Amino acid sequence: MHNSKITRPQISFKRWKRASWALFASIGKIIRIGVLCVTSSLLVLKSQPMLAQSKSKNVNETLRALEEVVINTERPTQFQPLVRVVAVIQQKEIERAAVQNIQDLLRYLQGVDVRSRGSEGVQADLNILGGTFDQTMVMINGVNFSDPQTGHHSLNIPVDISQIERVEVLHGPGAWSQGSVAYAGAINIITKKPVKKNLQASLSGGEKGYFRGSANIGIAPGSIFKRWQISGQGGGSHNRSDGYTDNTDFEISNLYSNISFTNNSGHSIDIQAGWQNKSFGANSFYTIAYPQQFEKTRLFLSSIKYLWESRRSQVSATIYQRRHHDRFELFRYDSPLWYKGHNYHMNDVAGINVNVAYRWKRWGSSVFGADYRYEHIYSTVLGDLLGTPVETPGEDGVSFTKGKSRKTASIYLRHILQLERWRFSAGVIFTNRVYAGFAAAYTINPYLELNGWVNNSYRNPTFTDLYYKSPTQTGNMGLKPEEALSAQLGLRYTKHKLRASLSAFYRYGYRIIDWTRESGSDQWSASNITNIRSAGVDFSAYITFESSLISRAGLSYSWMDVSKQSAGVHSLYATDFLRHKAALNIEHNIISKLSGRWDLSWQKREGSYLGPANIETPYKGFVLADLKIVWNGRNIKPFAEATNLFNTNYLHIGNLPQPRRWVKAGVNITL
């Protein structure tokens, strides 16, 4: 109980950012708040005495800038507290980075390995904490839109970078608590919910025939049907390039909108929908033997989420779907007589998640839920033979001859408990077998927190793992699900303008699914390659300066080691990992409203690839530097950027050279 007779120094917070996901804990001290926008996130943590004043007469008070704690959910409530470290990149950082698409943006995140095949959002594989791209879950506003055909397509996301509020990265299989199991980790793309009406547009161009244009309309919260408020955004983008080398040209179009309806009775409905059309030259994407590969994809996704919550209870239901089309051409132009034709695929994902939560008076909150997910594919090469061919939408004279479907149902239970300085979360999910997890965080002092978690997880093979067959690749219909036990222990320090974290990670995976080949051979086959141990360390520190030439600086380093029990074969993904990743970013003022941001990184990948002369070639380390310069006008912001400033020749995936120096310029307009 607070004793008013005891004199304590007051803590003043300058400003609490007006965002629905910002929150703080009062850590047992008297708090004087100058500007405060109260949201339901206050209910997350145990409340403490607070005083609201406009001006202080105590000269001995402590002035502290309020730090924001990000939670890995779209709408944080008292049932979803933070119990683990997540890597986050915020809207302001997104705007200052020298990137024009989500895939390149993810390169800046700690503990993330993005292996690009094509440039500027064409295609990339996303790996977290030493896992493979198939082991990473991709979510938009908390909805799992991962691709069941292959993880190569999971980053086909129709959201333009200008529509993103922030991107969160979950280290480890934490998404089990939402009815799905993320094997190695997950990313969650949170889109903007505008607080005022606006129109944003952007035009840019550059070398290699590059052009990009985008437009987005923000809908300010306004009344509809008397009690309901509506807000949201809608827009799209188009970008293209002639390519940085032969057969690397591309065209990408996106449309996306998210709309929210809320009322003062605790009810809300969130709707999102997106469409994407993409075509690109896929020079040597999957094999160096055929450089004239070409691919065309398109998708449509949507979801509807209903939420009702009160002080003690919450009911949530989400329905979602995703349809993805893929046409792969081994020969873009002339083809040999033995070539039987292109590969066509159409996969569908549909699901529903329902959960009910209740907050007990003293013993935390309990959440009970159920999840159902349906995955289906029609294809000319993947799946079992169909009794009757199915016409391929959008393609003349082509029919699907194969198909496959599978269903996953689960129920889950978790409990969240706050005890003074401790926060706990534990849960279990029942699906094809039982999976469980436990996480805890301890506040050592107002600035330092110790946290950790342990989970087991699994992943079903993709349809490509099971059925794909080409001149150099053979799937395996006998594959079993891969499983793992993972744990992480970390420290997080947050004081005024300094944020730092240090964590150590370990994962033991068994029956790991990977594509392997023998030395000197170019034939890859899918198999469960027994067991793999992964261990790593992550460190990051960010500091913000006031009234200085340098406004912000950040440093991060990740180290990973992966070892397998089976020997004598080369791994395409599971043991071909990023051992070292170091990054430095600096934001600084130049003159007046002109500012710049530098991003430097050093990467060293473990493993080797089969070079043009069938020689095993180890990956070389490389240094990349990006620069973006912006004129920070009120409504008009011209910019110029250069990626790979040092013109480095480097590889993410064997035999696929990445773009050299690339200069672009443009303007962002907000009305």
pLDDT tens digits along 368-382:
999 999 999 999 999
Q: What whole-number distance in Å separates Cα of residue 660 and Cα of residue 671?
A: 35
Question: 3-state class of 296 per DSSP?
Answer: strand
User: What are the pLDDT digits (tens) for 501-523?
Assistant: 999 999 999 888 888 877 777 77
- 295 in Cβ contact with 326 (< 8 Å): yes
Q: Which residue, among 480, 462, 512, 401, has the nearest Cα to 153 in the 3D structure?
A: 462
Confidence of residue 566 (pLDDT cuts 50, 70, 90): low
Q: What whole-number distance in Å separates Cα of residue 638 and Cα of residue 660?
A: 24
Question: 3-state class of 271 per DSSP?
Answer: strand
Confidence of residue 169 (pLDDT cuts 50, 70, 90): confident
Q: What whole-number distance in Å separates Cα of residue 658 and Cα of residue 244?
A: 8
Q: Which residue, among 110, 115, 73, 113, has the nearest Cα to 88 in the 3D structure?
A: 110
- Which of 456-465, 493-502, 531-540, 660-669: highest mean pLDDT? 660-669
Q: Which residue, among 184, 142, 148, 195, has the nearest Cα to 166 in the 3D structure?
A: 142
Asked which of 25-39, 159-173, 207-221 is least confident by mean pLDDT, the reply is: 25-39
Confidence of residue 58 (pLDDT cuts 50, 70, 90): very low
Answer yes or no: is pLDDT of 407 > 70: yes
Task: Give residue limits of the domains in the chain.
Answer: 1-69, 86-670
Answer yes or no: is pLDDT of 311 > 80: yes
Write the single-letter amino acid at 68: E
Instruction: List Cα–Cα distances, 562 to 129, 525, 656, in angstroms.
Output: 10, 20, 23
pLDDT on residue 19: 37
Answer yes or no: is pLDDT of 251 > 90: yes
Question: pTM (2 decimals)?
Answer: 0.86
What does the CA dihedral 465, 470, 473, 475 come to, rounded to 10 degrees?
30
Share of the chain above pLDDT 70, in %: 85
Answer yes or no: is pLDDT of 644 > 90: yes
Question: How confident is the model over 587-604, as a mean pLDDT?
Answer: 94
User: What are the pLDDT digits (tens) for 419-428?
Assistant: 889 999 898 9
pLDDT on residue 575: 74
Q: Which residue, among 187, 216, 191, 198, has the nearest Cα to 72 in the 3D structure?
A: 187
pLDDT on residue 79: 54
pLDDT on residue 224: 79
pLDDT on residue 446: 92
Answer yes or no: is pLDDT of 597 > 90: yes
Lookup: tokens for 246: 């032969």
Residue 171: CB partners within 8 Å, gap ≥ 6?
84, 85, 86, 87, 111, 128, 129, 185, 488, 503, 505, 538
Residue 284: CB partners within 8 Å, gap ≥ 6?
290, 291, 293, 655, 656
Question: How confident is the model over 284-301, as a mean pLDDT?
Answer: 91
Write the single-letter amino acid at 591: I
- Which of 14-28, 319-333, 546-560: highest mean pLDDT? 319-333
Confidence of residue 563 (pLDDT cuts 50, 70, 90): confident
- 663 in Cβ contact with 644 (< 8 Å): no
Query: What is the phi/psi pair of residue 351, to 5°?
Result: -160, 165
Vertex 402: Cα angle to 296 and 125 (nearest 5): 40
Answer yes or no: is pLDDT of 284 > 90: no
Lookup: tokens for 563: 């070892």
pLDDT on residue 20: 36
Question: How confident is the model over 604-628, as a mean pLDDT?
Answer: 88
Question: How confident is the model over 245-269, as a mean pLDDT?
Answer: 94
Q: What whole-number distance in Å separates Cα of residue 336 and Cα of residue 345?
A: 22
- 213 in Cβ contact with 238 (< 8 Å): yes
Residue entry with tokens 């090469």: 381
Residue 500: CB partners within 8 Å, gap ≥ 6?
492, 493, 494, 539, 540, 541, 542
Q: What whole-number distance in Å separates Cα of residue 104 and Cα of residue 427?
A: 34
Question: How confident is the model over 600-618, as a mean pLDDT?
Answer: 85
Number of neighbours of residue 306 by Cβ within 10 angstroms: 15
Answer yes or no: is pLDDT of 52 > 80: no
What is 86-670's CATH superfamily?
A: TonB-dependent receptor, beta-barrel domain (2.40.170.20)
Q: What whole-number distance in Å separates Cα of residue 583 and Cα of residue 540?
A: 9
